[in-house]
Chains A and B, each alone.
Chain A
Amino acid sequence: MSFRPDIAAIRFGEGLSPDVAPPTSVEAVMAGLRGPDRAAAAFPIPKFDSLRSKMQEVAELRRNYRRGRDGPDAEKLQDIFRKARGEYNRELLKSFAAGLGRSITTQDGFRERLARFWADHFTVVGKDALTRFAVPHYVEEAIRPHVAGRFEDMLVAVVTHPMMLNYLDQTSSIGPNSQFGRGGKRGLNENLARELLELHTVGVGAAYSQTDVRQMAELLTGLSANLKNGFTFRPRIVEPGAETVLGRSFGGGGPNIGDIHAALKFLATHEATAAHIAQKLATHFVADDPDPALVAAMRDRFLATDGDLAEVYRAMLEHPASWASFGAKVKQPIDFMTSTMRALAAPPAVFERYNRRKLTAYLGGPLAAMGQPWLRPGGPDGWPEEAEAWITPQGLAARLQWAMSAPSVVFRGLPDPRTFLDTALGELADERLAFAAKSAETRREGIGLVLASPAFQRR
């Protein structure tokens, strides 16, 4: 098997669309990825750093309110704070519609899928009221610029990002023998160090021990972030001395963020990392249990290019296994949702007008019911890959419920189900499905059945 435009659009993109032609070759997919990020320009999502002044403002108003809670102005202070917080959240929530707008209209669906893949690989969850909805802004800043770049650049951007430092508790990790830590009140936190090895780089199967985790945690001391300055390196909390991770020694010459960068680069190009990333990409895009030859080809390309991600993707797209066994993957709920709206060519402006209640009722709630609550994965390991994890009775019920109801709720004038079947699946539709699309009692259910079909649910 080799390249097919429809499979390229569905398996490596956002799906087919009545308005956008699928890519015609591997070269076309790669050219799109190398070209400018048009989708981001058309549907901008502010970068995390640009939110900081607004965050500070809301935090300040919250402090004022808390301080004056028992005073005469309590009500007024609360109103001011709540209004500012509401405005701030509304601003952040716009990213949902922007993301959907990108998916619906993009010429370069592979980029959107890669951005989601890497956002999942480097999962963060906003742990407080201010960062709860700021994850897309982190992705925009630390991940999206690097999806076709070098893995090490993405790794450094992510590991030094305030959202990651906050999520995995690095902001509160202090070298016990550092200038700051010697009082003994506060100390080391291993969380980021552990996930960095286990999830982000070499993988849990690699040959590392608790000692490596501990050493990594000591090496990462100094990485910090706050609202006022964003990311900061704090020499006063750096654990002194050299640290050895996976047999390689780093640092020892006084606090220096360069030591951390060196370790991240070492990990980013490690043999085990190449194997881990190749396996994850192939598992995400091609099959829950991908062909070992495909994984090996991707791993080898990763190693040969020191982690040039575009080259790793090319190795995937050039491999025959990537074009065989169409349907081996089940779309994750978010992908099911975006590909539905793309196939329907839903106007992005519809979603931009939604208030928070409608967003929850039509999109956010159903996503959660399908097992993928927006911005709320269960842990730093992100969302599961296996079909069986998604197609459970309640997960499938939620897909069916949404397939039958959402298209008519979110936009008027549904297409004829027979036309829609052709738009959404082209030659990948089978006889039974054609019969179902023709035989449904209403357009709404006809469209719903096409969306619920294995051909559309799988890729």
Chain B
Amino acid sequence: MGDLSRRNFLRGASALGCSLAASPLITPVTLAAAPGENRLVVIILRGAMDGLDVVRPLGDPMLGQYRPRLASRARDESFDLDGFYGMHPALAPLQGLWRDGHLGFAQAVSTPYRDKRSHFDGQDMLEAGTGMDVPISSVRDGWLNRLLQIMPNASSETAFAVGREEMKIVSGPAPVNSWSPDARLDMSPQARLLLDQIYHDDPLFRDTSVEAIEIAESLGVASGDSFGLSKDEMRELIRAQQQAGQAAVLADFAGRRLAEDARIAAFSIGGWDTHRGQERGIRRALDGLSQAILTLKGHLGPHWDRTAIVAVTEFGRTARENGTRGTDHGTAGAMVMAGGAIRGGQVFGKWPGLDEAALYGRRDLMPTGDVRAYPAWLMAGLFGSDAASLQTRVFPGLDLGRDPGLLA
């Protein structure tokens, strides 16, 4: 074992039980200048959120006609946003943010994805950030990764993907951390050294294990202990496993990272595919979203004012309710923006109307804006990304359009 590098040696040493706080030498400290203090959180709402139920166009008389059951009490129970739109009551915990201008929406937006209305293709395109001109299976990286590629001073600490869900939005050549809140790594120093040896010739395993160990150490969840579970530890382990996918737990983890070195975080919230019993289903999903936003705010503290959160979904749902008190896959939908950096208190986007002729395919809300333009403008404002790079590299083929003035 003559080729032990210094890093390997240090990594081995760190497993001897030194606490990380007490060992600044071996913590993977990034010496490069951090990419500023602004923060961007992207939440993928998987399953197609019904934008018409979240940001309800109460001023459009067709809503009640299309949704006799779903929208029957919409006028009474919604939180009035601007006289035309009303917010779903499950987002009530965010009313204060709206009043402070820290919560906003965009309505009638979509990715360029059209017609087949498949969750998987829709999510792939949302995360790839490309248009219909590129076969989706040929895209190997996601738009947050391409943002990192053009960000000066971005390091492997800059972006964090949180949770067990695969996040294609961050995948690509720029290094990104990813971790699930319940993961640990316990191995003896000797085993780590040997692992380096057997992973030496396999780039995927080698690079990923280096990352895994670095992340586990930086989070203080690595040890050189022998593995053995007491009853209490087992109970704790099971509890952590069960909660690991919850929106608030993901946001808690993301918030902690953002309060330290991370400037970009991404995670998913599922549960939006409300083909039936939408009243109950969407309430549960919106609860998770509002908890996630408030949890992030709690951790960010003074950084909240330099933070933008954007929650996007693969497509909207049908204008009409279906036969099972739900809605089917549609086209345009809504997005949610929050954070102290946002110029909130308004619903962005052009309302296309719900007249049958105004619908997309006489069925879905017509897209009047490109969902990608919003994160693009946020990146321009938060990270100084230039328009040319945004329209060609991060979101190839995107027309940025006029500045909607998203940032305060």
Contacts and interface: CB of A to CB of B under 8 A. Distances in A.
B111 interface: no
Interface string B315-348: 0000000111010110000000000000000000
Given A204-B121, A404-B191, A396 B275 contact: no
Nearest to B137: A205
B18 interface: no
Contacts, number: 171
Given A396-B212, A440-B190, A169 B241 contact: no
A396 B180 contact: no
Interface string A172-192: 111010000100011111110
A59 interface: no
B202 to A, nearest CB: 4
Contacts of A442: 188, 226
Interface in B215-233: 215-216, 226-227, 229
Interface of A is mostly: helix
Contact of A401 (B116, B119, B186): B186
A448 interface: yes
Contacts of B324: 169, 172-173, 186-187, 189
Contacts of A405: 186, 227
Given A186-B324, A432-B200, A369 B241 contact: yes
A400 interface: yes
Contacts of A433: 198
Interface in A136-176: 169, 172-174, 176
Interface in B266-317: 270, 275-276
Given A172-B323, A393-B212, A441 B229 contact: no
Contacts of B120: 204, 379, 381
Contacts of B211: 393
Interface stretch (B76-84, B171-179, B373-381, B390-398): B171-179
A381 B116 CA distance: 15
A394 B198 contact: no
Contacts of A401: 183-186, 227
Given A409-B229, A432-B197, A440 B241 contact: no
B67 interface: no
A442 B329 CA distance: 55
Interface in A37-61: none
A181 B324 CA distance: 11
Contact of B197 (A172, A435, A441): A435
Interface residues of A, number: 62
B190 A397 contact: no
A454 B199 CA distance: 7
B72 interface: no
A194 B117 CA distance: 9
Contacts of A176: 323
A387 interface: yes
Contacts of B149: none
Interface string A441-452: 110110011001
B205 A396 contact: yes
Contact of A198 (B116, B178, B180, B270): B116
Nearest to B163: A394
A167 to B, nearest CB: 11
A393 B177 contact: yes
A361 B323 contact: no
Interface string A404-428: 1100010000000000000000000
B191 A191 contact: no
B388 interface: no
A173 B197 CA distance: 57
A84 interface: no
B191 A440 contact: yes
B322 A187 contact: yes
The list of the 7 closest CB pairs from A to B, nearest first, reads: A187-B323, A186-B323, A405-B227, A393-B212, A454-B202, A436-B194, A172-B324
10 contacts: A185-B323, A191-B275, A381-B119, A396-B212, A405-B227, A432-B200, A439-B194, A445-B187, A445-B194, A454-B202
Interface of A: 169, 172-174, 176, 181, 185-191, 194, 198, 204, 209-210, 330, 357, 360-361, 365, 368-369, 371, 373, 378-379, 381, 384, 387-389, 391-394, 396-398, 400-401, 404-405, 409, 432-433, 435-436, 439-442, 444-445, 448-449, 452-454, 457
